[in-house]
């Protein structure tokens, strides 16, 4: 994000299979960031009954966790197409 965005260095975009999984992904990332790195987000949006798009702002990194439908609708990758992208495969437990 550095070439075009002054307020963060990275966007991390993840997708859960449904709202429940999206919330679980957020809970895991939030817990690990807090426990392993003593980091709390500056703000969090989207944690509600729907949880279709959860945003955690860690200042240098902004985490977006979508349901498949919300990710397709908002298409952040297309919106920010002028910045470098890196795709990481899902990790299985």
* Tokens standing for residue 72: 């397709």
pTM for the full model? 0.81
Domain count of the fold of the chain: 1
Would you state the structure tokens that stand for residue 38, as one six-digit string?
């003593």
* pLDDT interval class at 44 (50, 70, 90): very high
63 found inside a domain: yes
7 band by pLDDT with thresholds 50, 70 and 90: low
Tell me the CATH number at 15.
3.30.460.10
- In this prediction, residue 42 carries a pLDDT of 95
The whole-number pLDDT of residue 56 equals 94
Distance between first and last Cα of the chain:
30
Q: Which domain holds residue 22?
A: 10-78
Q: What is the mean pLDDT of residues 7-22?
A: 87
38 lies in some domain: yes
Residue 92 lies in a domain: no
Q: Establish if 89 belongs to a structural domain.
A: no
In a domain, 70, yes or no: yes
Sign of CA dihedral 68, 71, 72, 73: positive
Beta strands in 1-93 (DSSP E): 10-15, 43-45, 53-57, 61-66
| pLDDT confidence bin for 6, thresholds 50/70/90 | low
Is residue 45, in this structure, part of any structural domain at all? Answer: yes
Q: Which residues contact 80 (CB under 8 A, 6 or more apart)?
A: 1, 4, 5, 11
């Amino acid at each position: 994000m550095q070439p075009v965005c002054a307020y963060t260095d990275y966007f991390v975009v993840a997708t859960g299979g449904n709202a429940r999984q999206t919330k679980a992904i957020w809970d895991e990332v939030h817990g690990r960031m807090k426990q392993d790195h003593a980091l709390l987000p500056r703000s969090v949006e989207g944690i509600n009954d729907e949880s279709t798009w959860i945003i955690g702002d860690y200042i240098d990194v902004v985490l977006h966790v979508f349901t498949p439908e919300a990710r397709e609708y908002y298409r952040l990758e297309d919106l920010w197409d002028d910045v470098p992208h890196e795709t990481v495969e899902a990790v299985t437990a």
